[in-house]
């Protein structure tokens, strides 16, 4: 039994990690009712309170913008941000709130790019995601055009794109093209699947991660985040000195 305890204690940290060195979370779905994230203002305030207790000083909320399911506009997002900010202030929570978006690279993205009005984070970063089934056939060209327009690209949760799992070169190509990679912290707890956890760890081992995001959607995600706070790989990435969250 003692041997068994030793084996398990070796895999986890004894104390949960405090996230305050990150300062900023840059990926979440905390504006109620506009995507698959929180659905009520109460849930939003509750999750923001918990994120603040885990150490965050600032949250950049990033609702989905997609051609089919989530046709969010700047106006919808900023109105939602105002509603959340008011409720958070009323609850007496001291945290800075901003909004941007998580753009799906899909059939509608090129038009948004051509409009020249993308919602950005920090110094002209755009947060993008790919489909979990196959990347858009033009995704590579679209990312190139984004960079030509002067945007810096953050690719959300690269560890979740299973179609690249047997082709690690794809990740190296993205890094060679100066695309920033954002890991979902909860991937480290095995929240999605074990292969996703393993890919998250591999990306950390190869020094390829630039940002950490909670991708907070609901209470189940919060439980996943809390489980990940005892993962050794979280400690490894936080102490790497490579993360850019506090520059946003
Ligand atoms: Fe997301």
Cα-to-centroid distance, 160 and ligand 1 (Å)? 11
Cα-to-centroid distance, 9 and ligand 1 (Å)? 32
Mean pLDDT of 4-10: 49
Mean pLDDT of 137-158: 95
The H or E element containing residue 225 is helix 219-228
Cα-to-centroid distance, 64 and ligand 1 (Å)? 7
Mean pLDDT of 18-39: 97
| In a domain? residue 10 | no
Which structure tokens are listed for 114?
A: 């051509």
Which structure tokens are listed for 139?
A: 């995704």
Whole-model pTM: value is 0.94
The H or E element containing residue 210 is none
Domain extent at residue 71: 22-247
pLDDT of residue 90: 97
| In a domain? residue 3 | no
Number of structural domains in the chain: 1
Cα-to-centroid distance, 182 and ligand 1 (Å)? 11
* pLDDT surpasses 50 at 34: yes
Cα-to-centroid distance, 216 and ligand 1 (Å)? 7
Which structure tokens are listed for 122?
A: 């920090």
Could you report the per-residue pLDDT of 92-128, keeping only the tens digit for each? Answer: 999 999 999 999 999 999 999 998 889 999 999 999 9
| In a domain? residue 12 | no
| In a domain? residue 103 | yes
Q: What is the CATH number of the domain that holds 94?
A: 3.20.20.140
| In a domain? residue 148 | yes
Angstrom distance (rounded) from CA 207 to CA 195: 19
* pLDDT surpasses 80 at 4: no
Mean pLDDT of 54-58: 97
Mean pLDDT of 224-243: 95
In 54-193, which ranges are continuous DSSP H helix?
A: 74-90, 109-115, 139-148, 169-176
pLDDT of residue 7: 47
| In a domain? residue 1 | no
Cα-to-centroid distance, 7 and ligand 1 (Å)? 34
Could you report the per-residue pLDDT of 10-25, keeping only the tens digit for each? Answer: 679 888 999 999 999 9
Cα-to-centroid distance, 63 and ligand 1 (Å)? 7
| In a domain? residue 9 | no
Cα-to-centroid distance, 102 and ligand 1 (Å)? 6
Cα-to-centroid distance, 104 and ligand 1 (Å)? 10
Mean pLDDT of 17-46: 97
Mean pLDDT (the chain, rounded): 94
pLDDT of residue 10: 60
Pairing of strands 58-61, 24-25: parallel
Cα-to-centroid distance, 36 and ligand 1 (Å)? 9
127, exposed or middle or buried, with CB in 10 Å at 0-12, 13-18, 19+? Answer: buried
- Residues near 203 by beta carbon (within 8 Å), at least 6 away in sequence: 158, 159, 171, 181, 183, 209
- The rounded Cα 217 to chain-centroid distance in angstroms is 11
pLDDT of residue 5: 46
CB within 5 A of ion ligand 1: which residues? 102, 215
Angstrom distance (rounded) from CA 144 to CA 139: 9
* pLDDT surpasses 60 at 202: yes
Measured between alpha carbons, how far is residue 122 from residues 35, 113, 153, 212 in Å?
23, 18, 12, 15
| In a domain? residue 7 | no
Which structure tokens are listed for 162?
A: 């299973």
pLDDT of residue 2: 46
């Amino acid at each position: 039994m003692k041997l068994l305890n030793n084996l398990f204690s070796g895999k986890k940290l004894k104390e949960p990690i405090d996230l305050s060195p990150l300062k900023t979370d840059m990926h979440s779905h905390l504006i109620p009712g506009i995507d698959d994230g929180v659905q009520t203002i109460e849930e939003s305030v509750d999750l923001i309170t918990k994120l603040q207790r885990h150490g965050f000083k600032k949250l950049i909320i990033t609702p989905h913008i997609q051609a089919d399911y989530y046709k969010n506009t700047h106006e919808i997002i900023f109105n939602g941000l105002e509603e959340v900010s008011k409720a958070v202030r009323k609850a007496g929570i001291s945290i800075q709130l901003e909004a941007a978006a998580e753009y799906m690279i899909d059939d509608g993205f090129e038009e948004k790019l051509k409009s020249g009005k993308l919602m950005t984070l920090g110094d002209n970063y755009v947060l993008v995601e790919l489909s979990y089934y196959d990347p858009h056939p033009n995704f590579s060209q679209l990312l190139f055009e984004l960079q030509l327009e002067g945007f810096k690209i953050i690719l959300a949760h690269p560890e979740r794109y299973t179609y690249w799992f047997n082709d690690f070169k794809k990740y190296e190509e993205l890094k060679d093209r100066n695309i920033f990679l954002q890991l979902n912290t909860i991937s480290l707890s095995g929240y999605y699947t074990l292969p996703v956890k393993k890919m998250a760890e591999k990306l950390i081992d190869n020094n390829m991660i630039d940002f950490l995001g909670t991708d907070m959607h609901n209470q189940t995600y919060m439980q996943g985040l809390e489980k990940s706070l005892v993962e050794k790989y979280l400690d490894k990435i936080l102490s790497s000195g490579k993360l850019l969250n506090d520059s946003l």
